[in-house]
Structure 1
């Protein structure tokens, strides 16, 4: 408020000094005394303004920073609080977008902008008070401007709010698309789906763009209309003041200037608060969305203290007539009257077709959802009456797709049991068969894993998840496909450990590998939400029903039948190849130097090196330094805006004409100043002319403000849309090494997309329009000043240059702080990790832990934020106090040259007016200086993202020849870019011929999935060669290569949309309904889809969350088969399927792979017996090779795996 009073005070002093210039002779002593007295007041006002402006900005910005931190904290805290049904309806991508975009809008709308608005309204009311004190009649005439101003602001707010709500909604949807694309980027790349996701992203942003332009239109229209009214009142006020002098009611012309200038400054600043008000209105809308979540208290409240806290639970579980359907799938019932009892210490296995309700039944124990009817009881107490935290603490669950956090391995395990000792942790990891592979990592248990555990294989992730659960020592243990990603050897060891761990606790095991549940106390068979069979393994096999069929489907083929089928396939293969298969196997063996000696899995990575050259090679691999950013700045933004130059030029021209407003106003004031020295009639004619001039200025301001706002809105929205899309698109085309780097974690990339573009926008939208017309006013006013008095003009220009250099110096300091904040934005990254893994956090009762982690991440940046705030506050106070200091110095020199006779009072007044208008223009635009500095920092970050070249090169460049499917790995060496001292492949060699199926088996974490990643060119080889049809794979067009391949991953990623959209994902040509049906039939998915109310148009939900694991995998298989690829890559493609579905899908895959090369990875060995060649991979090399029968006859490593998985009825 003190800063707001200073401006009308300036008008008061300026009016007094104007009166001195008019009334007193310039060579008199009174002239000097009265004039210099006002100069001292100017300087005093400057000092006061310096202090109050600093504290105004610093205090408001400090409060803003604290509010934003608290908002982030409470929003993330409220997200962790919500129940699973709420998350089914609110995609994590949308929530992340709200966190980034809405908080950013709130930050833009509060803080210094609230200070600007408060200053503007204070200035307005102070101006009215001062003007009434000096001349109430004239003030009363001009007072009509006030209610009109507030009506315009209110009308503008209503119009802008409607558009802003719709704009934010579309931006949130676009953010959701960006998040699911980046989180599932390998799937997007594998299916060439980049353009499809970019188009989805673009469509949502384009919808939002329309509403943003509408908002800018109303802003420009209302602001321009305000200035039109202001100048009418200004001209009318001067004319009325002249009339009062004529009739003798007013004797001092200076009072007219006091009233007019006070009202002018007050009203002018009310007009100029339109952009800050627009920011506040948008912040209000954004805050409403944030607080809607913060204030929501879910039915299942993890923060509630209500409920029983069992002291010594036994683990007795009862399901009584339980019915259930998911909240957003009311038309599809999942459970139909389940009745089941699990006694303390009993191990019960759930089996059945995928999607039949197994996982749902087990999951209801944890109360992620409330049941529709019936009861679930633990130890005689309804689980609804047990405190939710206490309930989940007695239940441990290992899920089919485990979520790990971006901590060290030790922290991921300790997080579930903070008091665990290192010795106990190692013991548990040994039980989970994880200790050996952990010891091979460079930092052992202190190795930092990537987001979601992406630095680990599926089997390694699952073993750590098992260890994490065992550390909790739960009374009830739920194992939902807990060993599905493990190889047979690891599975055997882990299963034995789990069997031991199950002793003394109630255990529910969900498994499709029936070899893991043969020893269960009871096996429960589910079918379409009903329990159809119960009993032991022997009882159910003897019964000959559903379970017996599942067992039969999963038993390994008898050796004779297997041999007969294989001979038939080999004969056909030999005919196609033109030479015998045995010759091929011999050649493969000769090129690989197989070893048959047994090696422990725990062997250190460095032991696999065979020479010093190998060690030098791996150490020489560079790690990309992602802290280095290109030489990008604000000019880069304009260089990339060529398509928007037409709008920018039109807006710039409008800004130039709009910039004539202040100089024209200044010249008119001088004209009025001179008229008060004339006779009354001449004075009245001059003031009437001034009224018409002011009306002309008002009309011009209205027109150019409106058109300019629209032009800058069009250019800024088009450009930011283009930059968002360019950054997003380039991210989707990056190599896997880029995403492995912790500096490019999905969380940071998503945050950058959201915030950097918003920061860049400030230099191309209406804020730049205001700065442009202010600078235009500065230049013209300085020229006018030089025309009338070069001495005064030189003084004013020197002060402006000094101010400019000071602001540039501070800009670099602020930019450095911005870059530091961007680099260390761990809070944004952690927030996304929390949102993505909220279900796991709730099940592990880690809400408080992650909230505290997030709070610490926010607090870690406090010092840098304070330093930045201090610099911005100092810059602001210098800019705001610049005007009164310039008033004082210019009038001091002006009085001297007038008194000495160098210039007339009128010329000096005009020169001083011109210089002071420059100061006024600088003050108007100075509030945007911090935003332009942020834009410069954001440009450096964003364009580094846009212009980064992928290590795999341009995906469209290269040969596009037809591919027959010959794959040759020759002495391939590879390490992950972020782990240069941990080799994955050391001397890998094998060949797959067209139409041949190669199966990869071996311990998890030994490079099997990496082979598929290299075929998809997520990574390129470090040494040796990888060829397709005799061509180096790098010579082929990457996009063309991927059209010839199809991948079904171990953890299939589906995207928001219908089943049909997911199956056709990435296809560039239309596919018929018959082709889709054929793919679904081959994938054994047609039956379950036909049972869904919406059929193929059923929404799969975020990450396929509305589908069971098996249903997701079958959709993913259909998505691969519809492409009719030449090379089919199957990474545990049937791991989530029940036995019968697996058998049916496996038969379909056997048919589908005919005529195409197939590389398959499987831990269920029954699914790869018919492969032409089976490769046993260990330590980055092929250890064994041959057909199933040949490897069985060797009785070595493969043989041992088979024995561990064989099922006997």
Structure 2
């Protein structure tokens, strides 16, 4: 009974972990069991040999599920004949982008039909249908991988030749081949290492590789500068010929060449026609939009965005471009499209494998546990009470050795004495049970409260430090949003366990160790010294186990952060994933990242299992030595029966308490590593500190800006010289724009080059 009770007690610290696991499993199973209303894995549905690309929305009513009170489309009807270009314009919030989402079947309308070639897209096989459509949007997202891998999301089994031809059609070849690693160049998180125009051209190459029948352009150039827009427009014009194209545009001057322009107002098509006909009606919706834009912006010449189906050029599909010779292709491009040979001067990207001189040069130092207690100083009264409760808990096991030895000794007394002494020891056990009930509950509750408050404080300080870091710090892949989010969540949770449950067990075991040895030495110091030799081996085993788990924990931490980044990236770009049918691909990539952490977890479990088994070996070895040596001492008259049992129980419970710390080894290792990581965030001084009070404060600022012989390289791209002896003066009150054309600087109005900003 005693051994069984001790086994139950050993399992009690794991109850909190089981509860957390059940809670997490419930949420996971809830997500796993959810049936999607629009299922990409559904293999049923119509699959045509080919489609013409005739798109129609028939009396469509739609509300977003997140905003059921707001009607977005109110009986909208729109027909886009095969091979034509339809521009959709209107005020913000009129439902333009919603039309694109419905054609891609990101959502289903509440009423009405969306048809392709006269067939309701609900009856089509979803994966096949999306394979016929390409989407290029304003808020495009590139995955944190190479340029080549990003382009192959359009066609997973594409050859390098197909990738290069798609990049050439997208006007991306020039800048890609100038990069240090060309198509193997890593683009960074969300393509942060590239300019807006470069990202857009890669997205266009991805769309070209898909060889679509329907092309959807959702304000694809609205966020670009003039030069980047011009290059992207040329690329779009090349691929839109002969393809059904729907364009959502904000700037009306970019859609003048469309075959048809539809003006959407309050969820309906208010007006439609070609540009020349629509502007003839001064009271029309299209004319109102033109006047509204002219009232807010000055008209500047803009290159037409749209290639009409009447545009006289041979089709430049991917298949034909591969058959064409390079010479003919260059001649055709030069004559019919007037391509520029210029490219961005200041946008280069280094390989991810190149050395990054962004973070601190020194390795993170070991986190002193005292720092954590210093952060927990406001909870000092709570920790004091928790320590007292843990001390009482730690005294229980050694004290129980006195009662057990005394209780066993009473069985050798006469009947009257037996009844009296057994009642006394039984009452002592009852008292210990009451003390145990109160102290253990208080111990874990109070340590839990202190740990919870520490989590809140640590996360706040870490986030405060993160948002004040210089921008270059975030260029490091290890400081991506997914990795930082994982650290803020997981590291703080590990610290809470370290300062909460593990600290409670540590205090308890320390008290048990001191009190147990004290009772054992007081009872029979000779016997205690004879069998105490196994205790150092137990401590050595715990130390070795901690060292092994530390190495595993550091590797697992990096793997979990990498997997978390993959999840954040896939969810953040879910429309891109869905549009290109890349669900299986991102799942495979995530599974591969999880496989590495799973194997690491298996190795960690094996080490932990060996350590725990060795702890139990030492425990039973203590039993054996105590009985054997104790019997010899009693036989030789050097000790008494009661003292032997008192030493036995004192050392057994002490060894049992120490063996419990092996359960803490994994959590303790994770907690220390997490403390190191979190404190590194909190302590890191940004190289450009916006909170610093140092520096000159001018009484009056007139706004004059000067660059005097500036040399500059991005920290993440130390091999690319951005500015070399750059000098520029911007006078007060003047509007300047810096832009490159033919390798020279020119001055215009209303904008700045990104590197100068």
Check 1:863–1:972 CA distance in 2 against 1; reply closer, same or farther (3 A cut): same
652, 666, 682: which is aligned to 1:930?
666
Does 2:500 align with 1:789?
Answer: no
Alignment of 1:540-619 (within 5 A): 540-544=278-282, 545-551=284-290, 601-602=342-343
Q: Does 1:641 find its partner at 2:382? A: no
Aligned mates of 1:907, 1:268 — CA distance in 2: 22
1:756 equivalenced with 2:494 (yes/no): no
Quick check: 1:539 aligned with 2:280? no
Distance in 2 of aligned mates of 1:929 and 1:491? 58
- The yes-or-no answer on 1:508 pairing with 2:508 is no
Are the counterparts in 2 of residues 986 and 1181 from structure 1 also a CA contact under 8 Å? no
Deviations 1:642-668 (A, max 9, x none): 333322222112212222212221111
Shift of 1:551: 4.3
1:325 to 53, 57, 63: 63
Q: How far off is 1:389 after superposition?
A: 0.8
Q: Compute the displacement of 1:347 (Å).
A: 0.9
For residues 701-746 of structure 1, what are the alpha-carbon distances to aligned partners after superposition, in whole Å with 9 as ceiling and x for unaligned? 2332233233212221122221122222211211111111011111
Query: Structure 1 983/354 Cα, relative in aligned 2: closer, same or farther at 3 Å?
Result: farther
- For the 8 Å contact 1:348–1:524, the answer to whether it is kept is yes
With over 3 angstroms needed to count, the CA separation of the structure-2 counterparts of 1:411 and 1:1007, relative to structure 1, is farther
Within a 5 Å distance, the mapping from 1:963-1002 to structure 2 comes to: 964=701, 965-1002=703-740
Partner of 1:301, secondary structure, is coil
2: CA distance, partners of 1:728 / 1:862: 29
Residues 128-174 of structure 1, C-alpha deviations (whole Å, 9 max, x = no match): xxxxxxxxxxxxxxxxxxxxxxxxxxxxxxxxxxxxxxxxxxxxxxx
Q: Quote the residue 1:421 is aligned against.
A: 159
Name the structure 1 match of 2:439: 704
Contact 1:898 1:905 in 2 (8 A): yes
Q: Which has the higher contact order (CA 8 A, sep 6+)?
A: 1
SS of residue in 2 equivalent to 1:274: helix
What is aligned with 1:882? 618
Q: Secondary structure at the match of 1:273?
A: helix
C-alpha separation between the residues in 2 aligned to 1:287 and 1:429? 44
Q: Which residue of 1 aligns with 2:175?
A: 437
Distance 1:776 1:475 in 2: 75
Shift of 1:752: 1.1
Shift in Å at residue 789 of structure 1? 2.0
SS of equivalent residue, structure 2 residue 612: helix
> What does 1:234-383 align with in structure 2 at a 5 Å threshold?
262=1, 264-383=2-121
Match of residue 400 from structure 1: 138
Which whole-Å CA distance do the structure 1 matches of 2:110 and 2:392 have between them?
Answer: 68
Q: Does 1:690 align with 2:425?
A: yes
How far apart in 2 are the matches of 1:659 and 1:621? 50
The CA deviation string for residues 543-596 of structure 1, in whole angstroms up to 9 with x for no partner, is 33332344466679699xxxxxxxxxxxxxxxxxxxxxxxxxxxxxxxxxxxxx
1:862 to partner: Cα distance:
4.0
Alpha-carbon distance in 2 for matches of 1:654, 1:363: 60
| Whole-angstrom CA distance in 2 between matches of 1:503 and 1:966 | 48
Residue 903 (structure 1) shift: 1.4
How far residue 287 of structure 1 moved from its aligned partner, in angstroms, is: 1.5
- The equivalent residue for 1:460 is 198
Deviation, 1:886, is 0.8
Partner SS for 1:928: helix
Q: CA separation in 1, counterparts of 2:496 and 2:465? A: 20
Cα deviations by residue, 1:479-515 (Å, 9 ceiling, x for unpaired) = 1111223333443343233223112211111222334
Partner of 2:336: none
1:801 correspondence with 2:539: no
Aligned to 2:595: 859
* Equivalent residue number for residue 320 of structure 2: none
SS in 2 for 1:302: coil
Per the TM alignment, residue 521 of structure 1 is displaced from its structure 2 partner at its CA by 1.0
Alignment of 1:495 onto 2:233: yes
* Cα deviation, residue 751, structure 1: 0.8
Matches of 1:1005 and 1:514, distance apart in 2: 31
CA distance in 2, matches of 1:368, 1:1004: 43
For residues 578-617 of structure 1, give each alpha carbon's deviation from its aligned partner in whole angstroms, at most 9, with x where no partner exists.
xxxxxxxxxxxxxxxxxxxx9953488799xxxxxxxxxx
Q: Distance in 2 between matches of 1:730 and 1:999?
A: 34
Aligned residues of 1:626 and 1:743 also touching (Cα < 8 A): no
Distance 1:420 1:692, change over 3 A: closer
Q: Distance in 2 between matches of 1:998 and 1:699?
A: 80
Match of 1:911 in 2: 647
Quote the offset at 1:432 in angstroms: 2.2
Residue 749 of structure 1: how far off its partner (Å):
0.9
Q: What SS is found at the alignment partner of 1:660?
A: helix
Match of 1:655 in 2: 390
Question: Could you say if the C-alpha distance between residues 758 and 1004 of structure 1 is closer, same or farther in structure 2, counting changes exceeding 3 Å?
Answer: farther
| 1:1052-1086, Cα deviation, whole Å (9 max, x unpaired) | xxxxxxxxxxxxxxxxxxxxxxxxxxxxxxxxxxx
Q: Is the 8 A contact 1:477 1:508 kept in 2?
A: yes
Q: CA RMSD in A?
A: 3.0
Is 2:425 the counterpart of 1:664?
no
The answer on whether the counterparts of 1:459 and 1:485 sit within 8 Å (CA) in structure 2 is no
The change in CA–CA distance for 1:620 and 1:789 in structure 2 (over 3 A counts) is closer
Query: What is the rounded CA distance, in whole Å, between the counterparts of 2:365 and 2:130 in structure 1?
Result: 49
Q: Contact (CA 8 Å) 2:53, 2:116: kept in 1 or not?
A: yes
Matched, 1:730 2:465: yes
The alpha-carbon distance between structure 1 residues 484 and 605, as it changes in their structure 2 partners (threshold 3 A), is closer
Q: Is residue 542–residue 611 contact of structure 2 (8 Å, CA) maintained in 1? A: yes
| 1:386 maps onto 2:124 in alignment | yes
| Alpha carbons of structure 1 residues 1003 and 686: separation in structure 2 relative to 1, 3 Å | farther
Q: Deviations over 1:220-249 (max 9, x none)?
A: xxxxxxxxxxxxxxxxxxxxxxxxxxxxxx
Q: CA deviation at 1:410?
A: 1.1
Counterpart among 736, 746, 760 of residue 481 in structure 2: 746
What is the match of residue 1013 of structure 1? Answer: none
Q: Are 2:344 and 2:740, in contact at CA under 8 Å, matched by a contact in 1?
A: no
Q: In the alignment, which residue of structure 2 is the partner of 1:952?
A: 688
* Equivalent position to 1:897, from 633, 636, 659: 633
Indicate how the Cα distance of structure 1 residues 659 and 488 shifts in structure 2: closer, same or farther if over 3 A, else same. closer
User: Which of residues 556, 576, 586 is equivalent to 1:821?
Assistant: 556
Paired with 2:719 and 2:745, the residues of 1 have a C-alpha distance of 15
Residue 448 (structure 1) shift: 0.3
Distance 1:856 1:795 in 2: 54
- Structure 1: where are the runs of 5+ without partners? 1-261, 560-597, 608-618, 1009-1160, 1183-1209
**In structure 1, distance between residues paired with 2:480 and 2:412:** 72
- Tell me how far 1:1003 sits from its aligned partner: 6.9
Aligned to 1:1201: none
Aligned to 1:982, what secondary structure does the other structure show?
coil
8 A Cα contact 1:307 1:385, kept in partner: yes
Structure richer in helix, relative to its length: 1
Q: Secondary structure of the equivalent of 2:709?
A: strand
Shift of 1:466: 1.4
Q: Does 1:869 align with 2:605?
A: yes
TM-score (norm 2): 0.87
Once the 2 structures are TM-superposed, how far is the Cα of residue 403 of structure 1 from its aligned partner? 0.9
The answer (yes or no) to whether the contact 1:351–1:526 under 8 Å persists in 2 is yes
d(CA) in 2 for partners of 1:781, 1:741: 52
Residues in 1 aligned to 2:593 and 2:601: alpha-carbon distance in whole angstroms: 13
Cα distance in structure 1, aligned partners of 2:176 and 2:673: 40
What is the count of residue pairs matched by the alignment? 708
8 Å contact from structure 1 (residues 428, 467) kept in 2: yes
Structure 2 CA distance for partners of 1:996 and 1:459, relative to 1, 3 Å: same
Could you say if the C-alpha distance between residues 404 and 551 of structure 1 is closer, same or farther in structure 2, counting changes exceeding 3 Å?
same
Whole-Å Cα distance in 2 between the matches of residues 335 and 418 of structure 1?
A: 35
Check the 8 A contact 2:356/2:476 in 1, yes or no.
Answer: no
Bigger Cα displacement from structure 2, 652-661 vs 763-772: 763-772
Could you say if the C-alpha distance between residues 784 and 757 of structure 1 is closer, same or farther in structure 2, counting changes exceeding 3 Å? same
